[in-house]
């Protein structure tokens, strides 16, 4: 297991806000923005939307901020609007974002991916329909997808081409080059996306992988491509920088890849320089008795827990984690080293600052950048100047005033014993 250390954490201080060191990279807390596709890229490159979208998480105080899945080659995107880092021209555009995140004390992270047979589709809001020749008329022609085997992703999907040895080498080179560009673009953490039914998952799961050569058949054969991708990325990704790996801990509805497979995979990944397993699930359908992971709070935490204990690798828990005490309990229980969140942070990008208050961090406003915390601290000083219920008048002129009525809600403590902010 590589080194993840807590720094400056008093025994009772919330673990969520304890610093965390992985290789040479230090995060100020354990709150991670999980990758979120935006379908807003232009020719793969990020635009102002991405700066603002990711920047608001940095202002809100998240420690590690992942960009969305970023394709290693143009055909590795899902749609024409997906992100990529497949030309050197992309580097400067991402650098603008990483510089901004760094300036706010956040750790910028990139998730590299290849959609494989799930590529060549329209956007998420349209339900990812496979592109057809008709889409070419509005500038979005379909493309030939690739996979481990010529097995279509679903009933309406055209079959992909199975990668031969030369094709595999070519994608491995693209993974390497994408890792090199990610470093040049200023990212501190690189994650390999091997989940959600995308290319690496298409090699791992026997539902998609029907190969009879060295990349298929046994679990060892099916894991080979994943291991080669890790080696290709590690070749360019420096030894002092953390490498994460997002795995489908279990395939999902009707799947065939289970947690025992993930534990074996995780051990092999750790030997090859992966630091953290990001434990998600699903994305690969088929026919077996496996049920989908139920969408209940923290439904994937058990996967992170098992992998951490049985494979001896650090893990990141993700999936319907929404409350501060839930996140804190996950860390305290030892199920995971980091907590990743997507939708709750989209709903409330300032969640880390609110969580710090709820978990009793004394100077919780310091989670914000000084431009915010300075003013917010001043606002809190009014609490001392004007205790709730104190007799107060509002001046109208030098000689006139009207009495002030305290709104009832400011006189009642909240459920957590605190009074509402904003006085
Ligand atoms: C808008 C959106 C886009 C997403 N895009 C990605 C992605 O690019 N890569 C990925 O691995 N997961 C992606 N996910 C999944 C999230 O990273 C996360 O695993 C999932 O939403 C569960 O976490 P949550 O319950 O906190 O939202 C996306 C989720 C959302 C809501």
Domains in the chain (CATH in brackets) are 4-371 (3.20.20.70), 386-423 (no CATH)
pLDDT of residue 118: 97
Ligand 1: distance of its center to the CA of 33 in Å?
9
Ligand 1: distance of its center to the CA of 245 in Å?
15
User: Which residue shows structure tokens 């030892």?
Assistant: 334
| Per-residue CA distances from 28 to 31, 89, 209 (Å) | 9, 31, 41
**258-289 CB burial, b ≥16 within 10 A, e <16:** eeebbbebbebbbebbbbbbbbbbbbbbbeee
Q: Which ligand 1 atom minimizes the distance to the CA of 68? A: 8
Ligand 1: distance of its center to the CA of 280 in Å?
9
| Per-residue CA distances from 419 to 408, 411, 415 (Å) | 11, 7, 9
Ligand 1: distance of its center to the CA of 314 in Å?
20
The DSSP secondary structure of 310-352, one letter per residue, reads HH--EEEEESS--SHHHHHHHHHTTS-SEEEESHHHHH-TTHH
Q: Whose CA is nearest to atom 28 of ligand 1?
A: 36
Q: Whose CA is nearest to atom 11 of ligand 1?
A: 35
Ligand 1: distance of its center to the CA of 343 in Å?
7
Q: Whose CA is nearest to atom 31 of ligand 1?
A: 343
**pTM across the whole model:** 0.95
Q: Whose CA is nearest to atom 21 of ligand 1?
A: 342
Q: Which ligand 1 atom minimizes the distance to the CA of 113? A: 9
- The set of protein residues with a Cβ atom below 6 angstroms from ligand 1 is 34-37, 68-69, 111, 193, 196, 246, 280, 318-321, 341-344
Mutate to test the pocket of ligand 1, among 282, 320, 342 (most ligand atoms within 8 A of CB): 342
Dihedral over alpha carbons 72, 164, 218, 278 (to 10 degrees)? 0
Catalytic entry in 86, 94, 198, 303: 198
User: Catalytic site residue 198?
Assistant: yes
Contact 85, 70 (CB under 8 A): yes
Q: In 3-state terms, what secondary structure has residue 273? A: coil
H-type alpha helices, 41-138: 48-60, 90-103
In terms of DSSP bridges, do strands 161-162 and 146-147 run parallel, antiparallel, or are they unpaired? parallel
Contact 270, 278 (CB under 8 A): no
Q: Which residues lie below 8 Å from residue 300, measured CB to CB, with a gap of 6+?
A: 249, 279, 280, 281, 293, 317, 318, 319
Ligand 1: distance of its center to the CA of 34 in Å?
6
Contact 290, 258 (CB under 8 A): yes
Contact 164, 150 (CB under 8 A): no
- The one-digit pLDDT tens for each residue of the chain (423 residues) are 444 555 444 557 999 999 999 999 999 999 999 999 999 999 999 999 999 999 999 999 999 999 999 999 999 999 999 999 999 999 999 999 999 999 999 999 999 999 999 999 998 888 899 999 999 999 999 999 999 999 999 989 999 999 999 999 999 999 999 999 999 999 999 999 999 999 999 999 999 999 999 999 999 999 999 999 999 999 999 999 999 999 999 998 777 899 999 999 999 999 999 999 999 999 987 777 788 888 999 999 999 999 999 999 999 999 999 999 999 999 999 999 999 999 999 999 999 999 999 999 999 999 999 999 999 999 988 888 888 899 999 999 999 999 999 999 888 877 666 666 654
Q: Which ligand 1 atom minimizes the distance to the CA of 280? A: 19
Q: Which ligand 1 atom minimizes the distance to the CA of 111? A: 9
pLDDT of residue 370: 96
In terms of DSSP bridges, do strands 107-113 and 146-147 run parallel, antiparallel, or are they unpaired? unpaired
**44-76 CB burial, b ≥16 within 10 A, e <16:** bbbeeebeebbbbbbbbbbbbbbbbbbbbbbbb
Q: Which ligand 1 atom minimizes the distance to the CA of 246? A: 11
The terminus-to-terminus CA distance of the chain in angstroms comes to 48
Q: Which of 185, 243, 183 is nearest to 23 (CA)?
A: 243
In terms of DSSP bridges, do strands 243-248 and 189-194 run parallel, antiparallel, or are they unpaired? parallel
Report d(CA 116, CA 77) in Å as an integer.
8
Q: Whose CA is nearest to atom 12 of ligand 1?
A: 35
Ligand 1: distance of its center to the CA of 290 in Å?
22
| Per-residue CA distances from 14 to 19, 131, 209, 245 (Å) | 10, 48, 44, 26
Q: Whose CA is nearest to atom 30 of ligand 1?
A: 36
Question: Within a 13 Å sphere around the CA of 114, how many CA atoms are in the beta-carbon half?
Answer: 28
User: Which residue shows structure tokens 């232009």?
Assistant: 42
């Amino acid at each position: 297991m590589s080194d993840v250390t807590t720094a400056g954490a008093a025994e009772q201080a919330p673990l969520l806000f304890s610093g965390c060191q992985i290789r040479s990279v230090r995060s100020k807390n354990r709150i991670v923005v999980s990758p979120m596709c935006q379908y807003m890229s232009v020719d793969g490159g990020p635009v102002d939307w991405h700066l603002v979208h990711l920047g608001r998480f940095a202002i809100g105080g998240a420690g590690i901020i992942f960009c969305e899945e970023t394709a290693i080659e143009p055909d590795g995107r899902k749609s024409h609007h997906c992100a990529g880092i497949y030309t050197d021209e992309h580097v400067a555009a991402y650098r603008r974002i990483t510089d901004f995140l760094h300036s706010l004390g956040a750790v910028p992270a990139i998730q590299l991916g290849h959609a494989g047979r799930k590529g060549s589709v329209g956007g998420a809001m349209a339900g990812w329909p496979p592109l057809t020749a008709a889409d070419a008329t509005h500038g979005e022609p379909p493309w030939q997808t690739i996979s481990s085997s010529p097995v279509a992703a679903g009933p309406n999907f055209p079959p992909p081409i199975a990668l031969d040895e030369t094709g595999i080498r070519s994608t491995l080179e693209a993974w390497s080059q994408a890792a090199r560009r990610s470093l040049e673009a200023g990212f501190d953490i690189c994650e390999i996306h091997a989940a959600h039914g995308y290319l690496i998952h298409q090699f791992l799961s026997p539902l998609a992988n029907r190969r009879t050569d060295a990349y298929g058949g046994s679990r060892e054969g099916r894991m080979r491509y994943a291991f080669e991708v890790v080696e290709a990325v590690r070749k360019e990704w420096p030894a002092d920088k953390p490498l994460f790996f997002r795995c489908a801990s279990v395939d999902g509805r009707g799947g065939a890849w289970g947690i025992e497979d993930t534990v074996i995979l995780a051990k092999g990944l750790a030997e090859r320089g992966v630091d953290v397993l990001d434990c998600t699930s699903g994305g690969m359908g088929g026919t077996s008795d496996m049920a989908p992971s139920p969408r209940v709070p923290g439904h994937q935490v058990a996967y992170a827990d098992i992998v951490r204990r049985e494979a001896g690798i650090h893990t990141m828990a993700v999936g319907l984690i929404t409350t501060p005490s839930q996140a804190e309990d996950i860390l305290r229980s030892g199920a995971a080293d980091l907590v990743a969140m997507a939708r709750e942070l989209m709903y409330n990008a300032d969640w880390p600052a609110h969580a710090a208050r709820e978990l009793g961090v004394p100077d919780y406003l310091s989670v914000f950048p000084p431009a915010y915390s300075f003013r917010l601290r001043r606002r809190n000083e009014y609490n001392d100047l004007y205790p709730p219920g104190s007799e107060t008048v509002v001046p109208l002129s030098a000689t006139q005033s009207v009495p002030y009525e305290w709104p009832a809600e400011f006189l009642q403590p909240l459920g957590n014993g605190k009074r509402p902010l904003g006085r």
